[in-house]
């Protein structure tokens, strides 16, 4: 082999190495970004299912916020799976807050405990498991004033014989009793990002971009600044039990 050819091949190998070093950060950033945003996509789909589970639990349990939160926590289980044994305090807190029994191996109870910590935590950044803001959009307090009845010392919006009740729109509530029997909830979930480098980039962009912050609720702004991503889901379902006024 001629010396000129050897020099040409050596030069080509050196050039390829330089090009690889230059493009490596871009490839690394792209790979990490794909991993993180795939996790966010899965979390959004899981949140949609969890919101459905939450509103269903609410329709069966008098629209109680505690029952809704427990249903949401059950729906979020895929995001908090693990084989570790749950702590006594976490398990007790979750079990006492729910109004229906939990069954299954310890790893499912552990996952539920972590999910319930996120559901019951309204402050983004206060927990490694995330935070959540759950709002009952319908029925409102005005609906209870317009359609509420006191039965067994409990104010409630009646759920029986809806087909035969009047469909007249109440002027103060702007709806009829059938509309007041629709349970609508809106869930904001601060999903904690796991890929540290992407988390730092998103957090920096969120803090530096005024439009990104201005278009968010207070919860969404706090979520971005804490290094999370705010995800939103909303679901409506017909009540299967009388709705009670919200009490937290």
Task: Return the pLDDT at 234.
Answer: 97
pLDDT confidence band for 185 (50 / 70 / 90): very high
Identify which has the larger pLDDT, 7 or 128: 128
Q: CA 239 to CA 180: how far, in whole Å? A: 9
Q: Quick one: tokens of 120? A: 């019951």
Q: CB-based contacts of 96: which residues, under 8 Å, 6+ apart?
A: none
Weakest-pLDDT range from 10-14, 115-119, 176-180: 10-14
Kindly list the domain boundaries of the chain, sorted by start residue: 3-138+185-237, 140-180
pLDDT confidence band for 148 (50 / 70 / 90): very high
Weakest-pLDDT range from 17-26, 183-192, 209-218, 230-239: 209-218
Checking if the pLDDT of 247 tops 80, the result is: no
Q: Tell me the H-state helices in the chain.
A: 3-60, 65-75, 88-97, 106-119, 141-147, 177-180, 196-208, 210-214, 218-225
Q: CA 225 to CA 222: how far, in whole Å? A: 5
Mean predicted lDDT score pLDDT of the chain: 83
Q: Which residues pair with 194 in a beta bridge?
A: none
Identify which has the larger pLDDT, 243 or 172: 243
Q: Quick one: tokens of 31? A: 């790979």
pLDDT confidence band for 143 (50 / 70 / 90): very high
Weakest-pLDDT range from 70-74, 105-109, 196-200: 105-109
Write out pLDDT tens, residues 89-127.
Answer: 555 555 545 644 444 556 677 788 889 999 999 999 888
Task: Return the pLDDT at 14.
Answer: 59
Checking if the pLDDT of 151 tops 60, the result is: yes
Q: CA 86 to CA 160: how far, in whole Å? A: 41
Write out pLDDT tens, residues 14-61.
Answer: 567 777 788 888 888 899 999 999 999 999 999 999 999 999 999 999
Checking if the pLDDT of 207 tops 90, the result is: no
Average pLDDT over residues 217-239: 91
Q: CA 194 to CA 130: how far, in whole Å? A: 11
Q: Using a pLDDT cut of 90, give the percent of the chain over it.
A: 50
H, E, C per residue of 34-79:
HHHHHHHHHHHHHHHHHHHHHHHHHHHCCCCHHHHHHHHHHHCHHH
Q: Quick one: tokens of 129? A: 């498991």
Checking if the pLDDT of 74 tops 80, the result is: yes
Write out pLDDT tens, residues 209-220.
Answer: 655 555 567 888
Q: CB-based contacts of 247: which residues, under 8 Å, 6+ apart?
A: 64, 65
- Backbone phi, psi, residue 148, to 5°: -70, 145
């Amino acid at each position: 082999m001629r010396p000129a050819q050897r020099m040409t091949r050596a030069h080509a190998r050196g050039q390829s190495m330089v090009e690889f070093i230059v493009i490596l950060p871009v490839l690394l950033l792209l790979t990490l970004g794909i991993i993180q945003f795939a996790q966010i996509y899965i979390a959004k789909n899981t949140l949609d299912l969890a919101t459905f589970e939450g509103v269903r639990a609410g329709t069966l349990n008098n629209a109680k916020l505690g029952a809704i939160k427990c249903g949401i926590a059950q729906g979020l289980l895929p995001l908090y799976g693990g084989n570790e044994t749950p702590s006594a305090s976490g398990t007790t807190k979750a079990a006492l807050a729910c109004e229906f029994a939990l069954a299954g191996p310890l790893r499912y109870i552990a996952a539920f405990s972590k999910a319930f910590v996120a559901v019951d935590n309204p402050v983004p950044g206060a927990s490694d498991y995330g935070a959540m803001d759950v709002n009952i959009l319908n029925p409102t307090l005005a609906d209870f004033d317009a359609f509420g009845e006191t039965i067994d010392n409990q104010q409630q919006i009646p759920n029986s014989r809806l087909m035969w009740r009047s469909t007249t729109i109440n002027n103060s509530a702007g709806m009829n009793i059938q509309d007041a029997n629709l349970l609508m909830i809106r869930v904001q979930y601060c999903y904690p990002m796991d890929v540290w480098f992407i988390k730092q980039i998103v957090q920096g962009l969120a803090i530096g971009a005024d439009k990104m912050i201005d278009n968010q609720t207070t919860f969404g702004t706090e979520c971005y600044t804490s290094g999370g991503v705010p995800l939103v889901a909303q679901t409506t379902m017909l009540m299967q039990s009388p709705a009670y006024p919200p009490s937290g």
